[in-house]
Structure 1
Amino acid sequence: MNGGDEVAAATPAGPPPPLEWKFSQVFGERTAGEELQEVDIISAIEFDKTGDHLATGDRGGRVVLFERTDTKDHGGSRRDLERMDYPITRHPEFRYKTEFQSHEPEFDYLKSLEIEEKINKIRWCQTANGALFLLSTNDKTIKFWKVQEKKVKKISEMNVDPSKAVGNGSVASSSNSSAPKPYLANGGCTDRLNNSPGNDFSIPAGGFPSLRLPVVVTSAETSLVARCRRVYAHAHDYHINSISNNSDGETFISADDLRINLWNLEISNQSFNIVDVKPANMEDLTEVITSAEFHPNQCNMLAYSSSKGSIRLIDLRQSALCDSHAKLFEEQEAPGSRSFFTEIIASISDIKFAKDGRYLLSRDYMTLKLWDINMDSGPVSTFQVHEYLRPKLCDLYENDSIFDKFECCLSGDGSRVATGSYSNLFRVFGCSPGSTETTTLEASKNPMR
């Protein structure tokens, strides 16, 4: 018996079975014949760490929040659920929570440049006291938002009947006369408000017998209030392509084509430039920064990718300006495989750390690559996404499609990776040892209702 247990324990667990994908939910349905407005196109999407909240940003500068509802009601007490010999599985359900206008279109008069309101990235921050915090950015400006549920307060026991105060609704009249008004010793004014023709409010001839202090009553109603706590502006000469929170909960980074800045969440007028790849002569420019991400657990580590297909891991403890990297991840070219398109398709458009921080996922035009940060000799796995387009690279270059950017992500348990493609398709790959899972799904199917 014990020997069998030892053999079972020594046998490595196989890859998880392929997932069965089913449509779950859709937001923002269009009515029949309704035209799609460009401002309504989603440009950024992000789940928080718990998976209970979802934020989307669009080209119109709006941020829309959704919250998960299926986790609130489990259909029984905890003891009843523990007695069940089968798990309760249900599709996650989200409902609309609130929305707010994050960015407005601006104009840079010095550079004669329009700054569109499109949301480039959204990142959730740590929650506190029941409030939600998140960062949103367009090409130039980052904003720090606090979304909180507040109880509605109403004032009762007024001295004036609000139904009688119509028209301008003014209790204290504003006279157009420039003559000085006689004031009483106690600070009162002898002006008769009822003599003012522009005022709809009148005081009784004998005055009020007594004045009551208004009473503030907190009702059971609640409203969600989104407030911009900080605005981080004027720190990037080029378009911001990435923002990333630090695990310390106090700082974050923002990256553009040539620089990465480090910010404190509470200080909006100062940032520290930690990476600068701008050459003294712009004619010598050979690569640009395409994405940057903090390590999920180690607050001193971050990674950034470049248009030459390399990923650099840097340690903030080494120096204030991180000119040198701790590790460099790039795949060596196979002999004789170089072509005109080699550098173009090698450009990395997105990188993501796995939840445990051990692995790093990168996306270039043709492939997904999974890297072990302890092994910089090459990727541990390569997933072919657009290999079928290789014979058509000339056509893609002619219409600039070869410069399209795609994002990537890892599942919470790190067993699967996903990325987008053309024709509303996205690809899911199993990355566990021995897994051959490859799934192609369409994201635009009309849901069956």
Structure 2
Amino acid sequence: MFYRSNSDGNGGETTWCFSQVKGTLEDDVTEADLISCVEFNHDGELLATGDKGGRVVIFQRDPASKQCVPKKGEYNVYSTFQSHEPEFDYLKSLEIEEKINKIRWLKRKNQAHFLLSTNDKTIKLWKVSERDKRVTGYNTREEGGRPREPARITQLRVPTVRPAELMVEASPRRIFANAHTYHINSISLNSDQETYLSADDLRINLWHLEITDQSFNIVDIKPANMEELTEVITAAEFHPTECNLFVYSSSKGTIRLCDMRAAALCDRHAKLFEEPEDPHARSFFSEIISSISDVKLSNSGRYMMSRDYLGLKVWDLRMETKPVETYPVHEYLRSKLCSLYENDCIFDKFECCWSGDDQRLMTGSYNGFFRVFERGGAATTTTRRSELTLEASRECAARPRQPLRARRVAASAKRKKDEISVDCLDFNKKILHTAWHPHESIIAVAATNNLFIFQDKF
């Protein structure tokens, strides 16, 4: 059950509290340790992270934490494995980074868990399984695996299965490669749990999980002359219940809903979601900040959330003309766009996520801040209790189980006692990747090499 998160509107305490932090809190952090994606599985029992070093770390919910009243959102390391290695494209003389761009869990069908992980070029299907038994009493080989000499085999034995120390094994079951010319930015599983899509800057491909050497191109926006290129694909996702529908966003701030029943190549969209631009507000940065970095369909499938540089928008799939809700994330940065352009921060791609009941939204910002919004109308009409700015920092790790303090940023030179000036924000501490537990008020926030886990204190 979900509870509303409140603050007093003046930087007071909230109902969110710190639960855990994973990863070292030391200042000496290598580039390979930076977390590049976060994803809960469908029941929230497992939480996976990928990093720039190509590693996947899976955390498992602590069974004891679920028995507490109230429940605790505590996770322990379950498995760690190297998903991708650095490669080199000799034809194009390009290095292919091992960085994990996305992780997507398959719904569980047996005792094992399956997940998809991708870097810029190659997608892998991993099987994660437990082994807590071992077979002893072989006839043709010793216990260590060495073959026995035939002369020493004087009688037949029946092998027996005995308990052993628990081992978690991760093995690649499928490798889907050589289908993308450009960098993969999205993968999304279909509701049929048999197919999935992968998207790069100009194309979207449809795969079957059992077929690795063939994919179908369902969207291709590459122009005949690359000089005529005006937009690129930034994110793509399947509808949660309708297996024939998917959406993809572009750098021009548009979202297209496509129906695979209409044609094999979905170049013609079924719906186009785009908010008209105010000509009076247009500037040099308008096109950059309107680029959509992430799009997520709600769990119910009725709504869709998009994240651009300055805010969040919620769309009703039945209304294309404008979003039904708008939430400014860091509007106070509008006056800083020139300096953000110079240091390349304006090109940061923030992700967003829904709560399990579709009533709350979450996305990241700078200075270790992340925003949690309660739905209930347009942002211009929401009350002061409908949004929160929280911080993932070492200070909150020093206060376990204590309510987090809501943070506030002063857009002007005049600021109140508990506010932080926009000029004091640390733009190196950016929260790009977040995830929300599918059933409970537990959130995971990636801050550089650390994974912070917070929960509603109720």
- The question of a shared fold, defined as TM-score above 0.5 by the shorter chain, is answered with yes
TM-score scaled by length of structure 1: 0.80
CA distance, structure 2, for counterparts of residue 341 and residue 395 of structure 1 = 11
Read off the aligned partner of 1:29 and give its amino acid letter: T
Deviations 1:352-410 (A, max 9, x none): 11110111000001111111111111001111112111111111112222111111111
- Alignment-mate amino acid for residue 129 of structure 1: N
CA deviation string 1:253-294 (max 9, x = no partner): 000000000000110110000000000000000000000010
CA contact (8 A) 2:233 2:250 kept: yes
1:226-251 CA distance string (max 9 Å, x none): 11110000000000000000000100
Q: Secondary structure at the match of 1:405?
A: coil
Alignment of 1:355-366 (within 5 A): 355-366=299-310
Shift of 1:74: 3.2
SS at match of 1:123: strand
**Residue of structure 1 aligned with 2:75, choices 91, 94, 99:** 94
- 1:208-357 correspondence to structure 2 within 5 Å: 210-213=154-157, 215-357=159-301
* Structure-1 residue corresponding to 2:134: 153
Corresponding residue for 1:142? 123
In 2, Cα distance between equivalents of 1:20 and 1:72: 19
Distance in 2 (CA, whole Å) between partners of 1:161 and 1:232 is: 38
Tell whether the 8 Å contact from 1:255 to 1:292 is kept in structure 2 after alignment. Answer: yes
Letter of the aligned partner of 2:103 in structure 1?
I
* Secondary structure of 1:21's aligned partner: strand
Higher relative contact order, chain-length normalized (CA < 8 Å, sep 6+): 2
Once the two structures are superposed, residues 17-37 of structure 1 have per-residue CA deviations (whole angstroms, 9 ceiling, x without a partner) of 62611001111234x6x7212
Is 1:382 paired with 2:326? Answer: yes
* Per-residue deviation, 1:411: 0.8
**1:16 Cα offset (Å):** 4.6
Equivalence for 1:20: 15
Structure 1 counterpart SS, 2:213: strand
The CA RMSD measured in Å over matched residues stands at 2.4
Q: Pairwise mapping of residues 95-110 of structure 1 onto structure 2 (< 5 A)?
A: 95-110=76-91
Amino acid corresponding to residue 301 of structure 1 in structure 2: L
Q: Point out where structure 2 has 5 or more consecutive residues left out of the alignment.
A: 7-13, 401-458
The equivalent of 1:129 in structure 2 is 110
Match of 1:37 among 30, 37, 40: 30
**Closer, same or farther: CA 170–323 of 1 in aligned 2, 3 Å:** closer
Q: Secondary structure at the match of 2:287?
A: helix
Q: Distance in 1 between matches of 2:201 and 2:313?
A: 22
Question: CA-to-partner distance for each residue in 1:390-443, whole Å, 9 max, x for gaps?
Answer: 111111112222111111111111111111111111111111247431111111
Shift in Å, 1:222: 2.8
Query: Does the aligned pair in 2 maintain the 1:48–1:54 contact within 8 Å?
Result: yes
Equivalent residue for 1:66, pick from 37, 59, 72: 59
Deviates more, 1:218-227 or 1:313-322: 218-227
CA contact 2:371–2:390 (8 Å) conserved in 1: yes
Alpha-carbon distance between aligned partners in 1 of 2:31 and 2:311, rounded to the nearest angstrom:
29
- Aligned residues, how many? 384
Q: Secondary structure of the equivalent of 1:149?
A: strand
Cα distance in 2 between the residues matched to 1:377 and 1:212? 76
Give the drift of 1:128.
1.6
Aligned-partner Cα distance in 1 for 2:222–2:140: 67
AA aligned opposite 1:60: G
Query: Taking structure 1 as reference, are residues 386 and 17 closer, same or farther at Cα in structure 2, changes over 3 Å only?
Result: closer
TM-score (norm 2): 0.79
Asked whether the 8 Å contact 1:155–1:214 carries over to 2, the reply is no
Is this contact kept in 2: 1:155–1:215, CA < 8 A?
yes
Contact 2:140-2:148 at 8 Å conserved across structures: no
Inter-CA distance 335–116: structure 2 relative to 1 (3 Å threshold): closer
Cα distance in 2, alignment partners of residues 72 and 91 from structure 1: 5
C-alpha deviation, 1:162, in angstroms = 7.9
Q: In 2 relative to 1, CA 162–229 (structure 1 residues): closer, same or farther, beyond 3 Å?
A: closer
For the pair 1:49 / 2:30, whether they are aligned, the reply is no
The AA in structure 2 aligned to 1:61 is: G
More strand per residue: 2
**Alignment equivalent of 1:444, drawn from 393, 396, 410:** 393
Matches within 5 A, 1:402-417: 402-417=346-361
Aligned to 1:145, the other structure's residue is in SS state: strand
Q: Is the 8 A contact 2:140 2:147 kept in 1?
A: no
Which position in structure 2 is the counterpart of 1:202? none
- What is the alpha-carbon distance in structure 2 between the residues aligned to residue 162 and residue 274 of structure 1? 52
CA distance in 2, matches of 1:346, 1:311: 12
Identity rate of aligned residues, in percent?
57
Letter in 1 for 2:317: I
CA distance in 2, matches of 1:170, 1:160: 4
Contact 2:137 2:157 in 1 (8 A): no
- Distance in 2, matches of 1:161 and 1:374, equals 67
5+ residue gaps, structure 1, are 1-14, 76-87, 173-187, 189-206
| Preserved CA contact (<8 Å) 1:151 1:220 | yes
* Distance (Å, rounded) in 2 between the aligned partners of 1:233 and 1:257: 16
Letter in 1 for 2:311: T
Distance change in 2, residues 1:160/1:122 (3 Å)? closer
Alpha carbons 1:393, 1:402 under 8 Å: kept: yes
Call closer, same or farther: CA 1:221–1:330 in 2, change over 3 Å: same
The alpha carbon displacement at 1:71 in A equals 6.9
2:331 & 2:261 partners in 1: Cα distance? 40
